[in-house]
């Protein structure tokens, strides 16, 4: 079953960076590795996400994580709009089968209309 979920994330054109509760980057999909190539790409796996952000951003990340921990219903926070890439960015809680918080990831939603032709195979 794991392979199915990994494949979904790996095929996504948006960056997916998954972190554990210690803010350690534990997974990056191919889009994220490419997007963050100038910052180290796949070498970022195993590093702290907090090392990639400034002090103000780190404080916000910690605040969101604390909010996620308060309730199993606290799962999605809007972070910012990236005008250059026309996308919204969210922080999303990751939970286990017992609804316990196990980590988080950054979700990117592009606003650009698809340019691919329908069913162009």
How many Å apart are CA 57 and CA 110, to the nearest integer?
Answer: 22
What lies within 8 Å, CB to CB, of 81 at 6+ separation is 87, 88, 89
Domains annotated for the chain, with CATH where assigned, are 2-110 (3.30.450.20)
Q: What is the mean pLDDT of residues 72-95?
A: 96
Range with lowest mean pLDDT among 63-67, 102-106, 111-115? 111-115
The pTM for the full model equals 0.89
The pLDDT value recorded for residue 116 is 87
pLDDT tier, 88 (very low <50, low <70, confident <90, very high otherwise): very high
Q: Where are the alpha helices (DSSP H) in the chain?
A: 2-11, 30-35, 55-70
Encode pLDDT of 42-58 as tens digits: 999 999 999 999 999 99
């Amino acid at each position: 079953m794991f392979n199915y979920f990994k494949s979904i994330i790996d095929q996504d054109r948006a960056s997916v960076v998954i972190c554990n509760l210690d803010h350690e980057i534990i997974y990056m999909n191919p889009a994220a590795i490419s997007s963050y190539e100038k910052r180290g790409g796949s070498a970022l796996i195993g590093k702290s996400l907090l090392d990639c952000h400034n002090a103000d951003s780190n404080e916000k990340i910690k605040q969101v994580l604390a909010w996620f921990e308060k309730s199993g219903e606290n799962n999605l926070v809007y972070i910012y709009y990236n005008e250059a890439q026309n996308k919204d960015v969210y922080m999303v809680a990751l939970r286990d089968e017992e609804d316990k918080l196990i980590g988080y990831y950054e979700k990117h939603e592009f606003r650009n209309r698809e340019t691919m032709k329908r069913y162009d195979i």
